[in-house]
Amino acid sequence: MSGNPFNPSTTMNPDNFVGRSKEIDLYLRCLEESAVCNSSHLILMGEKGIGKSSLLRKFESVTDHSKHLVVRRDMDPSIDSLESLVNFLIRIIQDSVIQLSSGFRGIQDKIQALVRDNKIEITVLGVGAGLGSQRITVLQETLFKVLSGVYERVKSVFSSICIFLDEADYIHEINGAWSFLRSVFSRLTDQKANYLLVVAGYPGLKNKIQQVYPSMLRFLRPINITNLSLMETRKVLVKPFEKNGRYIIADVINDIYSRTKGHPFFVQMFGHELFSLDEPIIETPVYRSALSTIFERLESQIFGSYFDSLNSKEREIVNAFSKRPEHDYNISEICEITGIERERLYGHLSDMVAKHCLKRVKIGVYALFHPLFSEYIKKQET
């Protein structure tokens, strides 16, 4: 049996990627604009497992690497201050450039000189707080000089440098980070240093930015990533099977779409288990026999840990939601079916969204993060 092309635990191989054509077209337009110093930066937003990281990887794969340098990295909790953010950005740019070719190795000395001239050693090592009111100015000037210096060094080869930052919710935890980034990257554009910044985070990130720095959303063009359509789901499933001389019938695909609602993670999970059966044709009887295994894997890998993260009151709320798993509940309905006071309810709902058990459909309206979760919840009541 050949290797399984479905892997819900990692980002999708760009060769198997389908759909998101509008998002890819928007990225390519922004890429063209960045090459003529008219940058439109992007923010990707979507719930956990919706395919943000896979889309970033696809963006990278469709980029003409002879014209554009792409730097793609995940952020993490260690990036918790402006100093560590500056250090992180300098490091990933430096590492990416010097790995390209021995011809660019001289840039490391140039970066170190820029860092030394602007005393970044002090700020990055965490002593920057002692600089008082000058701290942000010094950090901005340092990052600007490093990034503009890097672009000046490579512009004869690359028309722009693209920085992809996944898990960008960590940026929001840094006080003043969004205004800091806008200041630096706007100045780079003014100085004709062509950069394209693409960040990816969870759905609530846009609202959080709106609350603390609304003008940032004029700087970042939003891309909201939603579930796949039936046609896209069909392509996701059919393409890997056909590549391996196998087939999955339309009725099975339709049922998978009905159950998963086109959520990429769940589509990948179904595809992985069905492909592992090594049947030449996935027909309805084969599919039905595999469903119990698929749900057991979902329970062990996703639903169990999500449910275990909830306290007793939060479990009461998801139990109520599971009665109508595809229904969107407003605050008044949730208060009525749970008996929880409105003032206390807001805190529970916010925590449950953060734990990925609920999703906020719109202001004051919530739903289970996915209808499949309801089956697991119901089992816990028995």
pLDDT classification of 332: cutoffs 50, 70, 90: very high
CA distance 155 to 144: 16
Residues 6+ apart with CB under 8 A from 332: none
121 pLDDT exceeds 80?
no
pLDDT of residue 128: 42
Render pLDDT for 248-284 as a digit per residue (tens, 0 to 9).
999 999 999 999 999 999 999 999 999 999 899 999 9
Tell me: pLDDT of 361 over 80.
Answer: yes
The reported pTM is 0.84
Q: How far apart are CA 310 and CA 376, in angstroms?
A: 14
Burial class for 147, CB neighbours closer than 10 Å (0-12, 13-18, 19+): buried
Confidence (pLDDT) at 154:
86
Comparing CA positions, the residue from 256, 263, 252, 254 lying closest to residue 228 is: 263
Task: Say yes or no to pLDDT of 289 above 60.
Answer: yes
Q: Where is average pLDDT lowest: 46-60, 88-102, 176-190, 242-256? A: 88-102
Grade residue 122 by pLDDT with cuts at 50, 70 and 90.
very low
pLDDT at 108: 53
Determine the pLDDT at residue 276.
94
The closest alpha carbon to 50, from 305, 232, 322, 321, belongs to 232
Task: Name the band, by pLDDT with cuts 50, 70 and 90, for residue 381.
Answer: confident
Dihedral, CA of residue 103, residue 108, residue 109 and residue 114, to nearest 10: 130
CB atoms within 10 A of CB 117: 11
Listed residue (310, 240, 247) closest to 5, CA to CA? 240
The better pLDDT of the pair 325, 128 is held by: 325
Domain chopping of the chain, boundaries: 20-224, 230-306, 310-381
Q: Any idea which architecture 310-381 has in CATH?
A: Orthogonal Bundle (1.10)
User: Which residue in 351, 344, 378, 379 sits closest to 366, CA to CA?
Assistant: 351
Q: What is the mean pLDDT of residues 62-86?
A: 92
Q: How confident is the model at residue 120 (pLDDT cuts 50, 70, 90)?
A: very low
CATH superfamily of 20-224: P-loop containing nucleotide triphosphate hydrolases (3.40.50.300)
Q: How confident is the model at residue 100 (pLDDT cuts 50, 70, 90)?
A: low
